[in-house]
Chains A and B, each alone.
Chain A
């Protein structure tokens, strides 16, 4: 389904996918990501009414897209305080395997 047909997705300012809890940035190209609510890939400056700001609170893993690292809550707080971009998780393109080699 195209984004246009979903209606409420639109371009916005600060409250965009780029800082939304429901949005998982692409592991390599973080201006693209996957919305876990709409189940579509969007650009990071998209916005919808389901916007929920990222917060580091619960005892879980987080994703730092600045460092491309998965973090525990305590580490996520340190990265957050260092102005890194923290997300709930990362989006890995399923076709990424075509580009990878065994170690």
Chain B
């Protein structure tokens, strides 16, 4: 069984991202399943960032610490990840960093510097890379010092390219060394580099040379490495995708015609991906017409404008969406209220990140659940759906666009930073767009003169005509059936009842099986509840807990509004101990469950440090709850 983790660390902007992507590609070519995520600082450039990859011949549900390999492209990476390395692991570092001292690394967080200084001082050492190496070696870790500058000179001499090009190969020297140590044949590294830089020969050549020089160095200094057996998926046609990309793909396939955004982490990459791929070939359509069929992707001046433009587009009959993160979503609140009042179909992809406020802009958090449900002033019922992984994110996007139009309502699709920046590999059958038909609800293309945009109906849904097809009024004001502003008490009451009836129709129309999913044995005495991207880590933890003789099931909430109260109560009433797992401090899901079912969730596992939730975090938390009978466990892993 192969199950390995590695980290590539370095300065933000110093090649960590592309190094991580090359590693993921090499792993997929070798036939393994993989998960890789980037952790980066919000200062844009220079601060420490790292790429964490786990690969296996089995299912890879979550990242795991400690790791078997760390590639440290600078001194900060050695010191930051000193506790993340397994005793069986190895560290690849630059020998020129040996004298560097944590107290003099300006880009390092002062708190981390202080912690390192205290730890090293307690051992009678200064916090230098040389001492870190000493500590690691005493633990049994293998350390591989690369003469990075000399190796770069060798690359330069071999290909005669300007040193500016050679500078870009520092990361590749690191990862080639690590992959070779792990048992990857050089050809997988070269093929991965070709996939990454194939269309840029001036970059590809120095990188391939750098990889072979690095491997040559490792071989001559540490001996030839045993080959890692190929994984079970070698040679298969597979898809490597991030969360941002798969949501973008679903929007393209699902017939989106208008997407707005204002740049914000971790949402923007979704809109960029749509824009890069908006021209798709359609059978039977001339190439000249393709432009007319493409998607309009618009970067607006702010999020208020983004949502209002999307609302405008939706009213004209376009399938419209916007994507944002917590701070941008705050700005969208007034318009969400208007979309409920005016019954506008719009999808809002909400990529949560660590708040409150700007918080830690580039890190993980699940703190916008209540914000999304209660967004907008007045009574503003809406659909809120949360995706647990890449596959769910794909299908949920398709469904969310349908629901927005079928029920003429805002739909908020909850995603987060972890999903956004996590890369996985999928088999083609796992992504089948034909499973979800495009449904646009009750629409009238040629309404008569007496068209009532807000006609009172039994199910609360009025046939929708696009703006411009006849005379109609759409505004934020309360209105009569035609849309004309009205403060008449009967009109008001009827419209309030209509909107609530519509919400009841939504609740009845969406099958319970899509609202929540019970994973594991229904008779397990312990139930974990959660929502969103914690799913796979929880499933991984359940497998591990079962091996340790602890049976746990998992109730995953998929639709948070309308809330699946009775189905949830059915499951929760069977359980002896319910534990909520959430990356927020308030226990937002627990509050929601209590409000809708009356069930008080007594136990919780929380991750508050804005780092991804690992399966081992949950295993640790559940064991502490059982053995120490604590009510709440805060897990703190991650660098």
Closest B residue by C-beta to A83 = B104
A103 with B362, Cβ < 8 A, contacts A66-B104, A93-B167 known = yes
Contacts of B15 on A, CB cut-off 8 Å?
Answer: 99
Tell me if B553 counts as interface (CB < 8 A to partner A). no
Closest A residue by C-beta to B203 = A95
Tell me if B13 counts as interface (CB < 8 A to partner A). yes
A41 with B164, Cβ < 8 A, contacts A99-B14, A99-B17, A103-B42 known = yes
Interface pick from B263-271, B301-309, B313-321, B449-457? B263-271
Tell me if B163 counts as interface (CB < 8 A to partner A). yes
Taking a contact as CB atoms under 8 Å apart, the answer to whether A103 and B168 are in contact is: no
Tell me if B68 counts as interface (CB < 8 A to partner A). no
Taking a contact as CB atoms under 8 Å apart, the answer to whether B106 and A26 are in contact is: no
Q: Which of B17, B45, B96 has the most CB of A within 10 A?
A: B45
Taking a contact as CB atoms under 8 Å apart, the answer to whether A67 and B163 are in contact is: no
Taking a contact as CB atoms under 8 Å apart, the answer to whether A103 and B167 are in contact is: no
Which of A27, A42, A98 is B163 in contact with, Cβ under 8 Å? A42
Taking a contact as CB atoms under 8 Å apart, the answer to whether B264 and A29 are in contact is: no
A93 with B74, Cβ < 8 A, contacts A28-B46, A41-B163 known = no
The docked-state distance in angstroms from the alpha carbon of A34 to that of B163 is 9
**Could you tell me the distance in whole angstroms from the C-beta of A79 to the nearest C-beta in chain B?**
10
A100 with B163, Cβ < 8 A, contacts A27-B46, A31-B149, A32-B152 known = no
**Could you tell me the distance in whole angstroms from the C-beta of B265 to the nearest C-beta in chain A?**
6
Taking a contact as CB atoms under 8 Å apart, the answer to whether B13 and A100 are in contact is: yes
Which of B13, B106, B163 is A66 in contact with, Cβ under 8 Å? B106
Q: Which of A2, A27, A34, A99 has the most CB of B within 10 A?
A: A99
Contacts of A102 on B, CB cut-off 8 Å?
Answer: 263-265, 268
Tell me if B44 counts as interface (CB < 8 A to partner A). yes
The docked-state distance in angstroms from the alpha carbon of A93 to that of B11 is 13
Tell me if B172 counts as interface (CB < 8 A to partner A). no
Taking a contact as CB atoms under 8 Å apart, the answer to whether B46 and A93 are in contact is: no
Which of A66, A93, A99 is B12 in contact with, Cβ under 8 Å? A99
Interface residues of A in 1-42 (CB under 8 A from B): 2-3, 26-29, 31-32, 34, 40-42
Taking a contact as CB atoms under 8 Å apart, the answer to whether B18 and A99 are in contact is: yes
The docked-state distance in angstroms from the alpha carbon of A96 to that of B168 is 9
Taking a contact as CB atoms under 8 Å apart, the answer to whether B170 and A100 are in contact is: no
Contacts of A69 on B, CB cut-off 8 Å?
Answer: 106
Give a binary string over B349-381; 1 marks a CB under 8 Å from any A CB, 0 the rest: 000000000000110000000000000000000
The docked-state distance in angstroms from the alpha carbon of A69 to that of B47 is 12
A27 with B45, Cβ < 8 A, contacts A40-B162, A99-B16, A99-B18 known = yes
A26 with B264, Cβ < 8 A, contacts A41-B162, A68-B107 known = no
The docked-state distance in angstroms from the alpha carbon of A101 to that of B266 is 9
Tell me if A43 counts as interface (CB < 8 A to partner B). yes
Taking a contact as CB atoms under 8 Å apart, the answer to whether B164 and A100 are in contact is: no
The docked-state distance in angstroms from the alpha carbon of A69 to that of B106 is 8
Interface size class of B (residues with CB under 8 A): 35 or more
Tell me if B160 counts as interface (CB < 8 A to partner A). yes
Tell me if B503 counts as interface (CB < 8 A to partner A). no
Q: Which of A2, A27, A31, A69 has the most CB of B within 10 A?
A: A31
Taking a contact as CB atoms under 8 Å apart, the answer to whether B106 and A96 are in contact is: no
Taking a contact as CB atoms under 8 Å apart, the answer to whether A103 and B149 are in contact is: no
Interface size class of A (residues with CB under 8 A): 20 to 34
Taking a contact as CB atoms under 8 Å apart, the answer to whether A100 and B106 are in contact is: no
Give a binary string over B100-123; 1 marks a CB under 8 Å from any A CB, 0 the rest: 000010110000000000000000
Q: Which of B107, B163, B263 has the most CB of A within 10 A?
A: B163
Contacts of A26 on B, CB cut-off 8 Å?
Answer: 167
Give a binary string over B142-172; 1 marks a CB under 8 Å from any A CB, 0 the rest: 0000001100110000001011101110100
Contacts of B44 on A, CB cut-off 8 Å?
Answer: 100-101, 103
Which of B13, B18, B106 is A28 in contact with, Cβ under 8 Å? B13
Which of A64, A66, A93 is B168 in contact with, Cβ under 8 Å? A93
The docked-state distance in angstroms from the alpha carbon of A2 to that of B157 is 10
Contacts of A41 on B, CB cut-off 8 Å?
Answer: 162-164, 167
Closest B residue by C-beta to A96 = B13
The docked-state distance in angstroms from the alpha carbon of A2 to that of B162 is 7
The docked-state distance in angstroms from the alpha carbon of A102 to that of B162 is 30
The docked-state distance in angstroms from the alpha carbon of A27 to that of B12 is 11
Taking a contact as CB atoms under 8 Å apart, the answer to whether B362 and A101 are in contact is: yes
**Could you tell me the distance in whole angstroms from the C-beta of A103 to the nearest C-beta in chain B?**
5
Taking a contact as CB atoms under 8 Å apart, the answer to whether A100 and B45 are in contact is: yes
Closest A residue by C-beta to B200 = A95
Tell me if B40 counts as interface (CB < 8 A to partner A). yes
Give a binary string over B1-37; 1 marks a CB under 8 Å from any A CB, 0 the rest: 0000000001111111110000000000000000000
Contacts of B11 on A, CB cut-off 8 Å?
Answer: 27-28
Closest A residue by C-beta to B96 = A31
Assuming A34-B164, A99-B17, A103-B42, what are 12 further A-B pairs, CB within 8 angstroms?
Answer: A27-B45, A32-B166, A40-B162, A43-B152, A43-B163, A93-B168, A98-B18, A99-B14, A100-B13, A100-B45, A101-B269, A101-B362
The 7 closest A-B pairs by CB, nearest first: A67-B106, A28-B14, A41-B164, A41-B163, A28-B11, A102-B263, A96-B13
The interface of chain B, by Cβ under 8 A from chain A, is 10-18, 40, 42, 44-46, 74, 96, 104, 106-107, 148-149, 152-153, 160, 162-164, 166-168, 170, 263-265, 268-269, 361-362
23 intermolecular pairs with C-beta atoms under 8 Å apart:
A27-B45, A28-B13, A28-B14, A28-B46, A29-B170, A31-B148, A34-B164, A40-B162, A40-B163, A64-B106, A66-B106, A67-B106, A68-B46, A68-B107, A99-B13, A99-B16, A100-B12, A100-B13, A100-B44, A101-B40, A101-B362, A102-B265, A103-B265
